[in-house]
Amino acid sequence: MKILHVIYSFNTGGAETMLVDIINQQCKTEPVNLLIVNDKFNRSLLETIDKRVEVFLIDRKEGNKLHLFSAFWKTNALLRKIRPDVIHCHDGNLFPFFAKWRKKTCLTVHNVNLSALFFKYFEKVFSISSSVREDVKKRTGIDAETVYNGIEVENYLPRTDYNFLPEKEPFKIILVSRLFPAQKGQYIAVEALRLLSAQYPNINLQLVFVGTGEALEMLRNSVAQKNVEKYVVFHGQADRLWIKENLKNFHLLIQPSLYEGFGLTVVEGFAAGLPVIASDVDGPKEILSVLKAGLRVEVGNPRDLADKIYQIYTAYVSGNLLNHNYVITDKTNLRMFDIHATAFRYLALYRKFSL
């Protein structure tokens, strides 16, 4: 079964990094190709794709209508050449490129509230969580099949030492996300730090933002205005290997998103043996509910986030962290969010509609 995955751009978001893992699993048993339409792609991420996978770059300039027509013809010429059995799109707006190949198309919807203009034309629609499925159903009437996102669970080095002495080291919090506060809520984390430092002046905290984005300077200014510079580190972008090897060196992972279709970093935090605090919304809420672990925080509420951070902090200090359902120490509990399950679930579903 020849599989062609298609995406508009290929930067370092959750959809792209998960797609790499899916492709690298599927190519072990099937011929797999990747098509990137736009000229926006991260070369370092591309280099993590298995060499058995051929990557096609259309190099369309976003927003340019002439380039759009050119991309259409290039794409269809490629389809006639490779003759895929399945065309797996990762953006609903890609459908016009594949209108002549409709019976071979499927779509994964990666977030809530995405444009649903072309959803009804795909032969099959998948959702990355029940929350996304419900959003699709409500807005289009389509009953999408849920396939949870996954990670290479066993490749995340786990934290095993939960001893913490605040006089010897800072309490290290990590937030891994694109710097896009309108969705990812980094400003909520900054305000939570201000509240904590005001209430507990001697608290030894460090919040590390991992990721890049256009909001970097805005967040730097916010950190300065709130006088919490000494607590904040802007790490910049980190590759997948760094995440897998270094998450365990932190004490807590937070994800204060305002909306989120899934929340891959939530699963990564648990795979690294960390307690996780995530917004009580959409995908993160679903993950914490399924795993019966972590803490939920009210959406957009920095006071609640500050209180929950302090709750985890005091659990570390008292040595009682593992007496609560904050941490997952047995990785078998994460098997439903393992990339092997994700990749091969897709293979099984392809066969249902493509043969």
Say yes or no: 182 and 309 in one domain: yes
Same domain flag for 180 and 146: no
% of the chain exceeding 70 in pLDDT: 98
Into how many domains does the chain fold?
2
CATH of the domain at 217: 3.40.50.2000
The answer to whether residues 296 and 158 belong to one domain is yes
Average pLDDT, the chain: 94
Q: Is 240 in the same domain as 288?
A: yes
pLDDT number for residue 17: 86
Per-residue pLDDT band at 13 (split at 50, 70, 90): confident
Which pLDDT belongs to residue 11?
84
User: Do 129 and 192 belong to one domain?
Assistant: no
Domain with 228, as residue range(s), is 154-334
Residue-level pLDDT at 61: 83
Say how far apart CA 345 and CA 349 lie, in whole Å. 6
- Confidence band for 69, pLDDT divided at 50, 70 and 90: confident
Span 38-67, pLDDT tens digits: 988 888 889 999 999 999 999 888 776 667
* 321/296 same-domain check: yes
Same domain, 8 and 108: yes
Same domain, 321 and 276: yes
Same domain? For 7 and 135 the reply is yes
Same domain, 236 and 179: yes
Residues 348 and 266 in one domain: no
Judged against a pLDDT cut of 90, whether residue 68 lies above it is answered with: no
Verify that 60 and 120 share a domain, yes or no: yes
